[in-house]
A and B are shown apart, each in its own frame.
Chain A
Amino acid sequence: MKTLLSICAAALLAGCAGMPNVPGVPGVPGLPVPRSSSAAPSLNIQQVTQVAQAAQTAFKEFSEPEEIEIGHGIAQSLLGAAPLLRNDRIQRYVNQVGRWVASQSERPDLPWQFGVLDNENVNAFAAPGGAIFITNGLLKKLRSESELAGVLGHEITHVVQKHHLNALKSGALGDIAKIAGQAVAENKLGKSGIGQVANATGLTAMGADLIKEGLFVKPLDRGLEEEADRMGVILAARAGYDPYGLVGVLQTLQGQAADDQFMALLFKTHPSPTTRIENLERISDTLDRYQKQDQGRERFAAAMGIRLPPAPPTNRPATPAKPAAKSTAPATKP
């Protein structure tokens, strides 16, 4: 930062003294050129400084309330692109399962929210602060509550580990950070702009901008996706579920056509299902330890209003008898 300012200062002095521009200027190397700088011969030092500071400020350590507001902004935009599935029972069920899994994490008190998007794409999204989404396209491919818990455990891990926030801060999501830096420079985040991440409205607006700039169409680092799988299955196990649920989902995805148009965005932003399954196989001893935990098939079928094929016959000793799930809704297709 200091080096940058001194370069700018040198340029300014050079300009004032009527000497030729410092080599490499205008446009300090490595810095986005401020929008309003045009063909003006002298460098607008103030604008350069603003953008430089803004880019740094934009992704300082966000406080938890700030993280939550950004996540709400992202959610509002995502819901602008795809509305919620119109089914109260399913929405409430996904929230119960999701919140139960999230309660097993190190951030159990975030305002976790889960939504099913009415969209045929197969995908799920996690916004900072705990705003999670799963598409109906993906939900329809699941066969048990433990599979749902696996998917949600993966998304919850993205939030617990602040994967998207950290990626934005480090510039791993590239252009997006620059754009957000500009948002600060344009005073979207409070009156004076520089060094101020002021009000909730501004943060929400920034979240909305992040969607428009393609937050969920860019892949995270593969290691982070693997971490989300590896920690997600543990969260499912902690919640009392069979942790193989996520493996089952990945194998379903593996069985889809590689050029299936509804899988395109998922495949673009994640490692292949085969790779993900191989990585989970490395922790199979851990998964095996909890494999007799609940799958929640009947509850899942009742909540979804579908008939699932019965579990295949086995000689395995029956799990402790559970009372039949009280379902006021008949098991008919929605």
Chain B
Amino acid sequence: MSRCLLLVLLLACLPLGAQELAFTNRATELKADLDSSSATVAPLPSGTPLSVVGRISGWVRVTTNDKKAGWVRSFHLRFQNSVAESEGGGSIFGGIFSTARRAPTQRTATVGIRGLSEEEMKNAKPNPAEYAKYKAYASSKADAAAFARNAKLNAVQVSYVDSRGRPVSGGSR
């Protein structure tokens, strides 16, 4: 595939967002379906770079560098900042992304961020008019239940679990 055509395709893809990249964070397997018991398409060593096609629940559909497609458990992936990755891996991405993403910025909460920087919060004045609008948008319990009914969302009984996944009784401490 010519470089020009690839560039055109990349540009065409842009409105949907930059290509997501991920690496396996352990030795794992590319599966044919979003099910551990489905066929294995290929083994994936730790650190394998993958292009993300999409996700469903705990599974991510990916393609490998050698064009194999399949599913990987999302916990077996580490998502990588695409700019950093592309600067390492190839220059075709460089220059396409907005400069806002490429320009190194100081890791600080105060630099030029309107409204929610530390500085701006410290100077925040109460806004009762805005608060009244906020309050007016609230949904009642009944409204929310009606929304759920329409959406065919069914409430389920599920116990909270502790950090190891053991069920615990719920509620405030």
Contact with A along B56-87 (1 / 0, CB 8 A): 11100100000000010011011111111000
B interface vs A, CB < 8 Å?
Answer: 16, 20-22, 32-35, 53-58, 61, 71, 74-75, 77-84, 101, 104-109, 111-118, 120-128, 130-131, 133-135, 137-141, 143-145, 147-148, 150-165, 170-173
Q: Which 8 A-B pairs have the closest CB atoms?
A: A255-B79, A99-B144, A312-B54, A240-B153, A82-B115, A312-B61, A76-B126, A96-B147
Across the interface, do B121 and A217 meet the contact criterion of CB distance under 8 Å?
Answer: yes
- Inter-chain CA distance A284–B143, complex, in Å, is 32
Known contacts A241-B153, A281-B75: A248-B55 contact under CB 8 Å: yes
**Pick from A213, A254, A259, A314: contact of B105, CB under 8 Å:** A259
Contact yes or no, B121 A76, CB < 8 A: no
Instruction: Report Cα–Cα, A93/B101, bound state, in Å.
Output: 30
Q: A217-B109, A283-B165 are in contact. Are A77 and B124 (CB under 8 A)?
A: yes
Q: Looking at chain A, what size class is its interface with the partner chain? A: 35 or more
List 16 A–B pairs whose Cβ atoms lie within 8 Å, in order of A's numbering.
A82-B114, A83-B130, A96-B144, A100-B153, A119-B115, A143-B55, A255-B20, A255-B81, A257-B81, A258-B107, A264-B109, A265-B109, A265-B117, A283-B161, A293-B156, A325-B150
A270 to B: closest C-beta gap in Å: 12
Q: A81-B121, A84-B134, A108-B141 are in contact. Are A294 and B152 (CB under 8 A)?
A: yes
Question: What's the Cα separation between A231 and B71 when bound, in Å?
Answer: 27
A123 at interface, CB cutoff 8 A = yes
User: Are A75 and B101 in contact (CB-based, < 8 A)?
Assistant: no
- Bound-state CA distance A98–B143 (Å) is 11
Contact between chains at B78 and A119 (CB < 8 Å): no
- By a CB distance below 8 angstroms, the chain B residues around A244 are 57-58, 74
In Å, the complex CA distance between A248 and B59 comes to 10
Contact between A208 and B126, CB atoms less than 8 A apart:
yes
A121 at the interface (CB under 8 A from B): yes
| A211 and B74 within 8 A (CB) | no
- Find the B residue at minimum CB distance from A291: B57
